[in-house]
Structure 1
Amino acid sequence: MNGYRPVPIPAHLPDRLTISLWDFSWYVRTGSGEPFEDLDRSAAEAVDRGYNAVRICAMPFLLFGSGLDTSALRLDRLGGDYAQRVRWYDVGAATVIDAREHLLALFRALDAHGLVAILSSWEYQQSSSFAVERDWFDALMAVPPGERPLRLADAMADLIDFLTIAGLDHCIAFTELHNEVQFTHLVDGLEAEWGEDGGNAAILELKQSLTAALDRFHGRHPDRPVTVNYAHVPVGVMRGIPDNVDVLVVHPYIYGVLDETTAAFDLRGSLEDFPREQVDAFGLLRDGAPAATEWMLPPDSSWKLEATIVGKPEIFFHDWVDPDAFDRFLYERYESHRNEMDRTLVDWIAVAADHALSRDIPVVFGEGWIGYTPLHGDFEEGPVGAEFCRRAVRESRGVGAWGTIVCSNAAPHHPMWADVALQRECNALFTAPSVPSLHQ
């Protein structure tokens, strides 16, 4: 133990959180015909599938830290057909919202259906890239990197005050200052990239910054659990997790067979290095695919490429991949990764649970399982992916997790939302009185 006494989980919250990942889509995808056009309907559908919680980007910096007028926030796709076949980016219709009123509308819908929300922020990762104007992004980047966690803490505290005045704060499960802190603009300017093999100075510098921000939030709301969350499970650098988190939130994306394709095709590299001949040799792209370096936004929208951290080769690949060909490609290679993927899933869940137990705090798996697949591919929704969902939920239940997901794609803005039976099954598995871990 580190001497910190965690804030206890409020007694009125569910014993186990069955979480649907609504991220920033709940305000970006609100136009005509969009999945969140009717928030009440979305909430009702979530309950019907067995969920009792949603995890959202609450846009705290925009609403309470930027100083911008948010009464008529214009949101749209990144530009033209760019990223329209990429998960989370396939915005179908432009929208204009009064952002603060939209937050209240969401919480009223959640309250009406008995749902709670995990408050987070994707603002230093991608949220602002969906705004028509760049002032949100510019305001984010104008904050010196070392001050960004503190500004988020203040903004989140103000947002909770706002919900409290509206009588809706009982719908808050807990708060994350930001999503996946080690892969955001929060690490801009650190001595080395924060990661499993990152420099120790960078790891400790980010930890110090986040610790101060969590202290700031605790000073404003001492009775509310708060944390930050991490991509993957940061085995090897758990020392970088602040000592004053009240919940451990990690995202066990196991990738495996997806890692092979990401590395082979350099999807996290540069457009100039995209190995087009190698990709074409496998027949993975649709007819008419341009050169990777030609698949860009127009100059007046190029700031959006900085506002989103998604790799530009990955966007090109997902936009132009033949989803059936890519699914076959994955299935053909899956068997050589199966044991690795299975072992990683079990080990990461166990490591996270053990670390949380050592701190006497709950563990939550807010995202995860296989990884970032193309929008129209169904590897994660198919028989292999669905079984990983079941396995992961059982493992989550087996280690005593407070919250978990069916998988990151189980939300209104993904095709998997239509698989009602799988979501009901997995959520029932997690909330069952006793489900033994398969690795025990």
Structure 2
Amino acid sequence: MKNIKILLLPVLLFAGTLFAQQTPAAKQTTPVTIVGATAHIGNGEMIKNSLIILEDGKIRTITDASSTKMPYRGTVIEAKGKHVYPGFIAPNSTLGLVEIDAVRQSDDEDELGEMLPHVRSVVAYNAESHVVESMRPNGVLIGQITPRGGRISGTSSIVQFDAWNWEDAVLKENDGLHINWPNTVRRGRWWEGEERGIKPNDKYEGHVRDLSDFFKNAKAYLAGPREKTNLPFEAMKEVFEGNKRLYFHADAEKEIIDLLAFIKEHSLKNVVLVGGYDAYKIADQLKANNIAVLVGRVHDTPNLEDQDYDLPYKMAHLLNEKGVLVGLETSGDMERMNSRNLPFYAGTVIAFGADKEEALKMITSNTAKILGVDDQMGTLEVGKDATLFISEGDALDMRTNKVTKAFIQGRDISLESHQTNLAKRYSEKYDTQTE
């Protein structure tokens, strides 16, 4: 038995190194100076020869290196010919809520029920997810962790991607409530004998009415004596006070128009449209109502045969031209794994009409504004979190984006992941075979 225990110990140690996530970086204790890189501020501006000083987890200096004699401090990183970007932000994400779709025990994105404003997704967030750590090598350092399912899915929170647990990860807890607007159409349920294909949803008006009744009942409850606690209604308090954002997930033109009427009826503030496939058709109305849009995945195909083949590619640009505040989100099939492609979605937006720095804003400063955290992140500005990265090339181009250094709140984080470890392992295998 003693020999078995001795043999098991190295096996367990090896398993730990194979399956555990990289150890989170320690708190910043020494200043870091980055010199010579082209700094993409994230607000549309650039500094071609920049001097950036990070200290105590914050950006303390960012200026043109050629126009200052400011002394360097702490660790100096010579970055001439490279590029510095704010950490990219992935909104409306289920990262950390599901690890393996086929393993039920690792799936925490949905709860039973329809009206669930009291559900908090962040408590189910797995900071040690292998999928989460694979975001960092592409510069995706922050995410909005969002529940799915039901009519009201629950509350999202904003986290950084280098942490021991959800408490360490959270940057803004319970930032907003997510509501799935009813669909105007539905697919025939062939397994119940219905004709296949898309048809009008004859229950649409009833579903909208149910949602409206929930809002009215919650207001009535909060205005009353509250003799018996109702958790879903209690969770609506901050929504009605305007302290919590409302993220409505809707796509069709009629759905969005009805949603605008719903917002007006219930005097709702801080509203964001998520998905918004037909939003470009009523962009002027969205602009007039100050509704920002988190545009659905760029790398997609049109929904209908008579639509432009490149509609998903240029949709963000069409809205941006109309003055709508636009961010990019990545939900859909394989959304957690595909979230690492967020910068390349922005690159596609450039290819289909957008200015390069405008597209960058859609995954940095615009998204930070939409999520209500632009005082902390989204741009390279003095006083904001030192959450940024250095790339050898254009971070929005998959051919040239090679992240060499990344910092979250000034902490020099690891860029290693399960995937980079496998890449090195098999590179060595083939190098050995060719000798």
TM-score tier by shorter-chain length is: 0.3 to 0.5
Q: Give the TM-score of the pair, scaled to structure 2.
A: 0.36
Normalized per residue, the structure richer in helix is 1
Q: TM-score, normalised by structure 1?
A: 0.35
Task: Find the structure with the greater CA-based Rg.
Answer: 2
Structure showing the higher strand proportion among its residues: 2
